[in-house]
Amino acid sequence: MLIRIVPGIAIVSAALALIATSSAAPQQQQFQWPEKPANIKVLDKEIVGLRLRPVMVGFSNSLGVRCSYCHKGVEGSPLTTYDFASDENPTKEKAREMLRMLKHINEDLQKIQPSGDERVNMWCFTCHRGRPRPMTLEEELGEQYRKNGVEAALETYADLKQRYYGRGAYDFNEQPLNNFGYTLLEKNDTAAAIQAFRLNAFEYPQSSNVWDSLAEGYMKSGDMKHAEEYYERAIARDPKAENAKQMLMKIREQQGK
């Protein structure tokens, strides 16, 4: 039974790191993978420690977590102090449910005629890509906004971009941040929407659409001077930007220009 990466789990961590550093601390007992792991409920019950090790390390790497995420133990303590058989950590049962879900997904995929020369399967990394919670960038920003406001959301954007850009974990093109700005407009938090649109314009200054969105934010706020300026920028980048042309005409008609 070949076990790989699973969406939504986390189990185990730094066995490799511990082994690598054990020579620096010879007085500590070295962790040994058990020959017969205990309390196995979803994986193959006949799995041995040497086979379990790459499975657990794969989970850990795919979710960017360590042993204590799912197991009973204190982060930073030797793995010999962990109770890996314990079910006390509730995340462990969530991990099992995600494994069961993965099994069902891959069984259903077997019913679909593959479009390529090899059948597609789901693994942990398919969704997680180094994150415990496989969320879109827009969802991450929305959660931070609801909890801590727009400043925290935009700080999160910068942090995630620094950590994950180029790794495929998030879509860092202009659309997610633009969508986030419109979500804020729908909530009538116009000032926050303008902040999001301004950041997007900074990130993608050659895009006509980001300037069009920023102009719309200012227009909704009643600041026609800045709305006019940014609609002009949108048109300068795309002379065919019809929405920007219509809005700019509307502003000038209202101002009697």
Per-residue model confidence (pLDDT) at position 25: 43
Q: Quick one: which of 62, 80, 45, 249 has its CA closest to 71?
A: 80
Per-residue model confidence (pLDDT) at position 126: 92
For the cut 90, the answer to whether the pLDDT of residue 216 exceeds it is yes
Pairs from 17-23 (Cβ < 8 Å, separation ≥ 24):
18/78, 18/79
Per-residue model confidence (pLDDT) at position 40: 93
Q: What's the half-sphere exposure (Cβ side, CA atoms, 13 Å) at 85?
A: 7
Calculate the CA 131 to chain-centre distance. 6
* Tokens describing residue 32: 């040994």
54-80 burial, b at 16+ Cβ within 10 Å, e below that, comes to: ebbbbbbbbbbbbbbbbbbbeeeeebe
The 10s digit of each residue's pLDDT in 184-210 is 999 999 999 999 999 999 999 999 999
For helices 242-254 and 208-221, angle between their N-to-C axes, nearest 10 degrees: 30
* Tokens describing residue 202: 């900074």
Per-residue model confidence (pLDDT) at position 28: 55
For the cut 60, the answer to whether the pLDDT of residue 10 exceeds it is no
Contact 106, 90 (CB under 8 A): no
Query: What is the C-alpha separation between 227 and 175, in angstroms, rounded?
Result: 20
What's the mean pLDDT when you consider all of the chain?
89
Q: Quick one: which of 16, 114, 108, 24 has its CA closest to 67?
A: 16
Alpha-carbon Rg of the chain, whole angstroms? 25
The 10s digit of each residue's pLDDT in 117-134 is 988 889 999 999 999 999
The 10s digit of each residue's pLDDT in 12-49 is 333 333 333 444 444 557 899 999 999 999 999 899 98
The 10s digit of each residue's pLDDT in 71-102 is 999 999 999 999 999 999 999 999 999 999 99
Per-residue model confidence (pLDDT) at position 255: 82
- CATH 1.25.40.10-classified regions of the chain: 137-254
Per-residue model confidence (pLDDT) at position 256: 78
Q: What class, spelled out in words, does domain 137-254 have in CATH? A: mainly alpha
Per-residue model confidence (pLDDT) at position 230: 98
The 10s digit of each residue's pLDDT in 174-184 is 999 999 999 99
Query: What is the C-alpha separation between 77 and 44, in angstroms, rounded?
Result: 28
* Tokens describing residue 94: 């969530």
- Output the pTM of the full model: 0.78
